Amino acid sequence: MRDVLRIVWQAVILGFAEMRRVYTWKTWTFGWLMRLLCQVTFYALLGSYLGDPHLMRYVLVGNTVGLACLESTIVVISLAGERAMGTLPLLAIAPAGHLPVYLGRGLQWTTTGLISSMVGWTVLPPLLGVPLPWPRAAYAIPVIVLVVISSYGYGCALAGVALRLRGVEWLVLNVAYGIVLTFGGTNVPLSFWPAPLRAVLEFLPLVHGLQAVRGILDGAPVGHVFGLIGIEALVGAGWYLVAWLSMDRLVSVGRRTGTLDYAG
Amino acid sequence: MTYLRVVWQAFRLQAELARRGPQHLLMLLVTPMQTASLLALTLHSHRPDALVNAVIAPGMIGLWVAALDYAGRVVPEDQWAGRFTPMVAAPVPLTVVVVGRVAAVVLVGAVAFAESWLTAAVGFGRVLTVAEPGVFAAAVLATCLAAVGTAMLLSGVIALSRARDVLQNSLSYPFYILGGVVFPITVLPAWVRPFSRVVFLSWSAQLLRDAAHGTVRHWAVSLAVILALGAAALAGGMWLTRRVVDGARRKGTVGFA
């Protein structure tokens, strides 16, 4: 366990070193973070234009929690980058095994996803004139952390696709979070969509966590909220299992056929 | 070789490059989801009058993404791929080549208009009709031309910048808000609106919505402003691209990736 934690820590250090290649704290704050906040504001203003402050708050909450999902899935790019650089075999021969290393490869995005979401959570509602009910809004924060974790598992699972096909990582990433943010209840309730689609949506991250967040804000019964949290955790665990199986197979097939170091 | 022929050849080159990169499909995959998102919100809030906004916005966003993400990478990608040196050495100015390539990218972006219309018709059973098709078509054409100019400007800015990824990642949603692509700019605070007026998207979006509703007033003025903003951006972009080339020649960094 200690070894795994050490790997996780090293992965976070590596991830942030990689981020510093692109961003300084100023360009991250005034570039990337501002863009994410504008994304939430864009939908919130549309909600205000189409409806009333109630709809605006609904959309604002959905999209703010959605940021946690969006950033966590960027692990797809980090893992595909290892393929492009031909460094997958080096990670695969790590004494601790390839799984903790692979699964830790985009952990920096969970940190920034949580920060972005938290900034949106605290700053945007009062700024846009639809304040959240504190302290109840604070109780939702652990659920947002859970959304980050389950979405990261979803991203790792889909990274398996990006690792197998050449040059599709941006497609996979955008479709991955696009589906969740479009259909997962960020702008309209799930009941808006047809029943067959709703059945599929049950297996996406964010969906139940966001419902739990809305439940907390609306003062729903504790049992109901915990039920939703449990389902979100189960969905997340399912995606980690898919990621685990996918990467395990990738490495075993790659070892057998000698293709693990192909730079995709 | 006339400049027009160079533009056409550059257009073909970009089309060939795009055909080989699956990442160029990204915009076409994202547009239906964006349309679904905006339409769902519009229909859920029982605002059939805003249906036009939800269908037109993804087209505008598609153009912007094309200008920012793809056209913006034209010069840097040439540098990475080693094409920059022969391009600079060619007897025709690089700016003309970049205009042709940027135009190809923007044309793909314009497909988003058709895609969002199809998504609304097939996915939601809402067929958008246009009350003033002549003005609408002229507005789409002017918008595409302005997008080419803006893409040229963004290409120059991104080529000169040391924070290319940051710029490309950041300049999307702020401009969708400023450009009022999905809601009128009257939704924005009064102090923001003057900034909106220098973004061609705001004029285009309003003209397209008005043409669809049949409530157009002063369409010629709107078209003239869209084209003028596009022309100004094009001039700025050509100047910046020339600066990139001159700077690289002077410093001996033409071959640098």
Query: pLDDT digit string (tens) for A213-235?
Result: 999 999 999 999 999 999 999 99
**Whether the predicted pLDDT of A237 surpasses 90:** yes
Pairwise CA distance, residues A4 & A7, whole Å:
5
Residue A122, C-beta contacts closer than 8 angstroms, at least 6 positions apart: none
Instruction: State CA A158 to chain mean position distance.
Output: 12
Among B residues 58-97, those touching chain A with beta carbons less than 8 Å apart: none
B256 belongs to a structural domain: no
pTM: 0.89
Which of B20, B29, B37, B68 has the highest number of chain A CBs within 10 A, making it the mutation to test binding with A? B37
Residue B12, C-beta contacts closer than 8 angstroms, at least 6 positions apart: B104
Q: What is the average pLDDT across A135-147? A: 94
Query: B91 vs chain A: nearest CA distance in angstroms?
Result: 34
CA distances from A94 to A74, A101, A160, A215, B47 (A): 23, 8, 19, 44, 57
- Look at B2 and A75; give whichever has higher pLDDT: A75
With cut-offs at 50, 70 and 90, classify the pLDDT of residue A15. Answer: confident
**Whether the predicted pLDDT of A263 surpasses 60:** no
Q: What is the average pLDDT across B176-184? A: 92
The pLDDT assigned to A106 comes to 85
B257 belongs to a structural domain: no
**Interchain CB contact of A150 with B (< 8 Å):** no
- Whether B41 and A22 lie within 8 Å, measured CB to CB: no
Q: What is the average pLDDT across A248-260? A: 80
List the single range of A110-124, A235-249, B29-43, B105-119 with lowest mean pLDDT: B105-119
Query: pLDDT digit string (tens) for A41-54?
Result: 999 999 999 988 88
With cut-offs at 50, 70 and 90, classify the pLDDT of residue B257. Answer: low
The pLDDT assigned to B256 comes to 65
Instruction: Show residues of chain A in contact with B170, CB under 8 Å.
Output: 31-32, 34-35
Q: What is the average pLDDT across B207-223? A: 91
**Interchain CB contact of B25 with A (< 8 Å):** yes
**Interchain CB contact of A190 with B (< 8 Å):** no
Instruction: Show residues of chain A in contact with B61, CB under 8 Å.
Output: none
| Residue A149 backbone phi and psi in degrees, to 5 | -65, -45
CB-closest option in B166, B176, B177 to A32: B166
**Whether the predicted pLDDT of A16 surpasses 80:** yes
The pLDDT assigned to A169 comes to 82
Question: What total number of domains does chain B contain?
Answer: 1
The answer to whether residues B208 and B65 touch, using CB atoms and an 8 Å cutoff, is: no
Which range has highest mean pLDDT (A13-27, A44-58, A139-153, A245-259)? A139-153
List the single residue in A with minimal CA-CA distance to B164.
A22
With cut-offs at 50, 70 and 90, classify the pLDDT of residue A262. Answer: low
Which of A32, A36, A42, A109 has the highest number of chain B CBs within 10 A, making it the mutation to test binding with B? A42
**Interchain CB contact of A39 with B (< 8 Å):** yes
Query: pLDDT digit string (tens) for B139-149?
Result: 999 998 998 88
**Whether the predicted pLDDT of B18 surpasses 80:** no
Percent of chain B with pLDDT over 70: 97
Domain that holds residue B97: 3-251
**Whether the predicted pLDDT of B55 surpasses 90:** yes
Q: What is the average pLDDT across B217-236? A: 92
Percent of chain B with pLDDT over 90: 36
The answer to whether residues A187 and A180 touch, using CB atoms and an 8 Å cutoff, is: no
CB-closest option in B23, B176, B188 to A171: B23
The pLDDT assigned to A53 comes to 86
**Whether the predicted pLDDT of B253 surpasses 80:** no
Q: What is the average pLDDT across B220-225? A: 94
CB-closest option in B25, B30, B41 to A50: B41
- Whether A35 and B174 lie within 8 Å, measured CB to CB: yes
**Interchain CB contact of A22 with B (< 8 Å):** yes
- Look at B224 and B245; give whichever has higher pLDDT: B224
Which of A20, A50, A63, A197 has the highest number of chain B CBs within 10 A, making it the mutation to test binding with B? A50
With cut-offs at 50, 70 and 90, classify the pLDDT of residue B117. Answer: very high
- Look at A178 and B95; give whichever has higher pLDDT: A178
Instruction: Show residues of chain B in contact with A55, CB under 8 Å.
Output: 45
- Whether A51 and B33 lie within 8 Å, measured CB to CB: no
For chain B, report the end-to-end CA distance as a whole number of angstroms.
Answer: 29
**Whether the predicted pLDDT of A259 surpasses 80:** no
What is the average pLDDT score of chain A? 89
A with B: how many residue pairs have Cβ under 8 Å apart? 104
Percent of chain A with pLDDT over 90: 58
B203 belongs to a structural domain: yes
**Whether the predicted pLDDT of B41 surpasses 80:** yes
The pLDDT assigned to A194 comes to 93
Pairwise CA distance, residues A80 & A163, whole Å:
5
Q: What is the average pLDDT across A80-100? A: 76
Pairwise CA distance, residues A153 & A225, whole Å:
22
The answer to whether residues B62 and B115 touch, using CB atoms and an 8 Å cutoff, is: yes
Segment holding A170, helix H or strand E: helix A169-183
Query: pLDDT digit string (tens) for B60-73?
Result: 998 888 888 777 77
The pLDDT assigned to B122 comes to 92
CA distances from B221 to B56, B96, B203, B212 (A): 21, 29, 10, 17
Percent of chain A with pLDDT over 70: 99
